[in-house]
């Protein structure tokens, strides 16, 4: 699935990577293999980071708080102009789904490695994302047509939806401000409460209603689109194992889907993206319950858990993302994609494995696992100091096996080898997860981990 580079127009000569940590490293690696020069940017807290060390050039763009550095649009644009970068890769988080930044990059005659500002904006608003998907023939959770303001609106929507109902904030993210209602009285009380909380948290009191699914799985589909009308899906990932809306453990393919489910979902998503004229990589998130898929939201960026899809498809997603951003055609078709084997990602955070209290500090010893089926995406090294200012993700252990059983065996083996000294990490949590009966059988929903952690507390 490699493309002879000499047969196509040249790619970018230089890319600025507007991110840090493991994902900056991931993008750097793709660029180096493609012969593209890299510019790292960093805050004053990240001068000694691995992404700065491995880049061809680096620019300090501000002080430790993200808003002064990794979220500082003017500083990023200046750094790109000064270094002569032709494109900016936003990575994940930070400005990766900011339509203003995407537009600003293009206004300055550089390429934003991502979708159009228009598509970012549509998917950034949950109601417009949902309405867009309905129009494209994608199944969504039954719910109110838009936001609900009055008691009358809420009650008439509830009649059509049926209980239990989930109230969500239009501007809310990560499940913040969601409330369940089982009858009309609860509904009216909770709509009022949700609006007050939404106003306080997001500065916008709009809320909408959906049928509450009690025990679904979180299933997301990876897609990639070029600017020549080609759309390919790369199968799904199961990200049901979460804590406080943070993914902890991800698998591809999902142990809960049949091949029929998978193909049905892939077809729906591919056709929708084709009609939409989407460009770049994207992920459509669904809830899956009793054999039915319901669209929730779409992420318009590369995702943290993309490597498990790379492991089971053999596709370098970041390389393809850069190629399509440069206007190249996808180097494969849907027929070339065959899901093979099984992959699991353990997200390793610099946190206590029981209390989840962040544990920044100096890594006084470091030994990463290796051997067959093991990939470690991490910016850690012996002597590195994990700064306290950012996300606590410090490593992704990505494991491949021909079967799910082999993959799980290798997860346990790799976790046994992994040594990170000086800071606390969530490695012990993953060691426990790998031994759990429900994990081994693949029988879990989005509520499994929180329930298990509560049981262990008691």
CB 83 within 8 A of CB 57: yes
Q: What is the enclosing helix (H) or strand (E) of 34?
A: helix 21-34
CB 200 within 8 A of CB 166: no
162 is a site residue for ligand MV4 (CB under 6 A): no
Of 221, 212, 353, which Cα lies nearest the Cα of 286?
Answer: 221
Nearer to ligand MV4 by Cβ, of 13 and 245: the residue is 245
Site string for ligand MV4, 213-232 (x = CB under 6 A): x----x--------------
Query: Distance between CA atoms of 274 and 62, rounded to whole angstroms?
Result: 40
- Which listed range, 12-20, 209-217, 332-340, 378-386, lies at the site for ligand MV4 (CB under 6 A)? 209-217
Nearer to ligand MV4 by Cβ, of 271 and 299: the residue is 299
Query: Distance between CA atoms of 408 and 439, rounded to whole angstroms?
Result: 9
Nearer to ligand MV4 by Cβ, of 46 and 391: the residue is 391
Minimum CB separation from ligand MV4 for residue 117, in Å? 22
- Give 6's DSSP letter: G
Beta bridge partners of 221: 236, 284
Q: Which of 45, 95, 104, 166 binds ligand MV4 (CB under 6 A)?
A: 166
How many angstroms separate the Cα of 392 from the Cα of each of 128, 166, 360, 453?
A: 32, 30, 8, 19
Q: Closest residue (Cβ) to ligand MV4? A: 175
141 is a site residue for ligand MV4 (CB under 6 A): yes
Nearer to ligand MV4 by Cβ, of 28 and 344: the residue is 344
How many angstroms separate the Cα of 289 from the Cα of each of 126, 294, 445?
A: 21, 8, 9
- Give 69's DSSP letter: T
Active site residue 301: yes
310 is a site residue for ligand MV4 (CB under 6 A): no
Catalytic annotation, pick one of 26, 301, 319, 347: 301
Site string for ligand MV4, 258-297 (x = CB under 6 A): -----------------------------x--------xx
Minimum CB separation from ligand MV4 for residue 150, in Å? 22
Cis peptide before 253 (omega within 30 of 0): yes
80 is a site residue for ligand MV4 (CB under 6 A): no
Residues forming the site for ligand MV4 (CB under 6 A): 141, 166, 175, 210-213, 218, 242, 245, 287, 296-297, 446
């Amino acid at each position: 699935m490699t493309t002879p580079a000499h047969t196509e127009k040249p790619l970018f000569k230089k890319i600025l990577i507007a991110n840090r940590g493991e994902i900056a490293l991931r993008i750097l690696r793709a660029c180096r293999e493609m012969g593209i020069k890299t510019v790292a940017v960093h805050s004053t807290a990240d001068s000694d980071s691995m992404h700065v060390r491995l880049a061809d050039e680096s620019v300090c763009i501000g002080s430790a708080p993200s808003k002064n550095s990794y979220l500082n649009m003017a500083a990023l644009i200046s750094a790109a102009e000064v270094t002569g970068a032709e494109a900016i890769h936003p990575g994940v988080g930070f400005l990766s789904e900011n339509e203003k930044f995407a537009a600003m990059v293009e206004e300055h005659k550089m390429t934003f490695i991502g979708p159009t500002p228009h598509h970012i904006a549509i998917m950034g608003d949950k109601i417009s994302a949902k309405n867009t998907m309905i129009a494209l023939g994608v199944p969504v959770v039954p719910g109110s047509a838009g936001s609900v303001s009055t008691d009358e609106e809420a009650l008439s929507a509830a009649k059509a939806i049926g209980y239990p109902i989930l109230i969500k904030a239009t501007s809310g993210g990560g499940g913040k401000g969601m409330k369940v209602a089982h009858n009309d009285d609860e509904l009216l009380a909770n709509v009022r409460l949700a609006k007050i909380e939404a106003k306080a948290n997001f500065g916008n009191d709009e809320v909408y209603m959906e049928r509450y699914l009690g025990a679904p799985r979180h299933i997301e589909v990876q897609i990639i689109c070029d600017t020549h009308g080609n759309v390919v899906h790369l199968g799904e990932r199961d990200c049901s194992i979460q804590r406080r809306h943070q993914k902890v453990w991800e698998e591809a393919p999902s142990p809960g889907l049949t091949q029929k489910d998978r193909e049905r979902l892939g077809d729906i998503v591919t056709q929708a993206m084709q009609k939409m004229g989407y460009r770049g990589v994207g992920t459509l998130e669904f809830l899956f319950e009793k054999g039915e898929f319901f669209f929730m939201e779409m992420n318009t960026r590369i995702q943290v858990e993309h490597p498990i899809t790379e492991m089971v498809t053999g596709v370098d997603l970041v390389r393809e993302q850069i190629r399509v951003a440069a206007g190249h055609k996808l180097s494969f078709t849907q027929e070339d994609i065959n899901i093979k084997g099984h992959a699991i990602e353990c997200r390793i955070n610099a946190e206590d494995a029981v209390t989840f209290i962040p544990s920044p500090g100096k890594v006084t010893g470091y030994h990463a696992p290796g051997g067959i089926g093991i990939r470690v995406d991490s910016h850690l090294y012996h002597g590195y100091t994990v700064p306290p200012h950012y996300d606590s993700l410090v490593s992704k252990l990505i494991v491949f096996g021909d079967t799910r059983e082999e993959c799980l065996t290798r997860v346990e083996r790799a976790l046994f080898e992994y040594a990170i000294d000086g800071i606390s990490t969530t490695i012990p949590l993953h060691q426990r997860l790998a031994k759990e009966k429900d994990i081994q059988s693949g029988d879990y929903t989005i509520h499994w981990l929180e329930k298990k952690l509560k049981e262990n507390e008691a």
